[in-house]
Amino acid sequence: MDTIFALASAQGKAGVAVIRLSGPLAHSAAADLTDGPLPARGMRVRSLYADDGSRLDDGLVLTFQAPASFTGEDVAELQIHGSTAAINAVMRCLSDTDGLRLAEPGEFTRRALENGKMDLTQVEGLADLIDAETEAQRKQAQTILAGELGGLAERWRRDLIRAASLLEAVIDFADEEVPTDVTPEVRNLITGVMQDLQREADGVKIAERIRTGFEVAIVGLPNAGKSTLLNALAGREAAITSEYAGTTRDVIEVRMDLSGLPVTLLDTAGLRETEDHVENLGIELARKRADAADLRVFLTENPKELSVPMVDGDIQLLPKSDLRDGAEGGVSGKTGQGIDQLISHISRELANRSTSHGIATRERHRVALNDASSALADAMTVLESGPDLYDIAAEELRTAIRALETLVGRIGVEDLLDEIFSSFCLGK
């Protein structure tokens, strides 16, 4: 049995955060993080250290011994300061520990049930649970099934079953009058589904952005006024500004709320050819971050002079409009001219994308889409070898179909249990 861990308290800043571990290694893993042994059952104030000996945080460590714990297994709880950085650092250490893994949604509850720790025996309680689950399932099923995704998933599944049946016919009726090479049709079917999957998976990325924030990068030549603009947008001195070109060598991040959407603004080093080694490193980093960002604001008269490509939806503005005497399409961090328009432009653009995030919103969906997608990619590779490897291609298709079946709720019992308990918050 794996030892699992997860953040048991809510995401985000709070006074205290609770990370829960359950399983045979729960106690030893917790002890490894701290500076001394832990009791089999009890509470200790401890400092937590990373592998390299650096201190992560101080906190309260609670240990529960099997079977007297929430899950019925050995359990440890780390109550630490609720800062995102501290939580992330501790979680990272735990995931680096052999034998530990992040819990699946509802897995603690599930273990509690399997170990007979949860009282499912009372009919009312049970009925409540089932009702809650059914209601949740109903809502989810309706959202999914009434929407695009349900229809799509059904169609994908149909296409893949069609593809699989072609392969299976060649395999199982080798002695009869069936075509011996169905590769072209199978490839067509798979390609179509893969394109759709890709589109949906992209949609999940946006849904995730709504949770974790969009990245907006400000790019331009050195001294185009990027940092000044960032400061104006953020309303505080986040980036060091000066009139010397090449001041920003790191990427400066400012998190802010733009019309309800979480946005991280990135101020990047000015993009120019330079002999300065350190500045070059900064520029390289700037390019990468700008490329990966969800949206780019180009502060330039000519985007082509920058080495970051402009893509659909990106914004181009004339820099330092204060020096341009009322020219259209400019912005100035210094005077605030055009800032409001820029903010509404960014939020409009991001809001647009948010509405097109599709129906695949859950991690479960993303996992299913990815599983299906990677199995299909493998199937395509194998199909290049033609009918001789149909046995393998069919296996990949089977994997993909099974992944999509979990998407629409036609699921195995094992998945079913996961599904039931995923209505409980992670780690609770």
* Min separation Cβ 394 and another protein, Å: 8
- What token pair was written down for 229? 């603009």
Number of residues that bind another protein (CB under 8 A): 40
* Min separation Cβ 42 and another protein, Å: 30
* Min separation Cβ 393 and another protein, Å: 10
Comparison of 349 and 371: residue with beta carbon closer to another protein: 371
Calpha distance 428→426 (Å, rounded): 6
Site string for another protein, 131-160 (x = CB under 8 A): --xx--x-----------------------
Q: Taking contact as CB under 8 A, which single stretch among the options 18-26, 166-174, 237-245, 335-343 is the one that binds another protein?
A: 166-174
* Min separation Cβ 226 and another protein, Å: 41
- Which of the residues 106 through 125 are near another protein (CB under 8 A)? 113, 116, 120-121, 123
Round the CA-based radius of gyration of the chain to a whole number and report it. Answer: 27
Comparison of 200 and 419: residue with beta carbon closer to another protein: 419
Comparison of 92 and 138: residue with beta carbon closer to another protein: 138
Could you say which of 102, 171, 343, 377 contacts another protein (CB under 8 A)?
171
* Min separation Cβ 158 and another protein, Å: 17
Q: Please, are residues 266 and 218 in contact by the beta-carbon 8 Å criterion? A: yes
* Min separation Cβ 380 and another protein, Å: 15
Residue 153: partners with Cβ closer than 8 Å, 6 or more residues away: 144, 404, 407, 408
CB atoms within 10 A of CB 364: 18
CB atoms within 10 A of CB 338: 21
Could you say which of 52, 98, 124, 176 contacts another protein (CB under 8 A)?
176
Comparison of 102 and 169: residue with beta carbon closer to another protein: 169
* Min separation Cβ 161 and another protein, Å: 11
Calpha distance 201→6 (Å, rounded): 25
Secondary structure element (H or E) that encloses residue 263, with its range: strand 261-267
| Position 130 contacts another protein (CB under 8 A) | yes
Q: Please, are residues 34 and 46 in contact by the beta-carbon 8 Å criterion? A: yes
Long-range contacts of 63-71 (CB under 8 A, 24+ apart): 63/26, 63/27, 63/30, 63/38, 63/39, 65/40, 65/41, 67/115, 67/117, 68/41, 69/22, 69/117, 70/22, 70/108, 70/112, 70/117, 71/22, 71/108, 71/111, 71/112, 71/115, 71/117
CB atoms within 10 A of CB 302: 9
* Min separation Cβ 392 and another protein, Å: 7
Q: Please, are residues 77 and 43 in contact by the beta-carbon 8 Å criterion? A: no
- Which of the residues 369 through 428 are near another protein (CB under 8 A)? 385, 387-392, 394-395, 398-399, 409, 411-414, 416-417, 419-420
The dihedrals phi and psi of 218, each to the nearest 5 degrees, come to: -100, 120
Give the residues lining the site for another protein (CB under 8 A): 113, 116, 120-121, 123, 126-127, 129-130, 133-134, 137, 168, 171-177, 385, 387-392, 394-395, 398-399, 409, 411-414, 416-417, 419-420
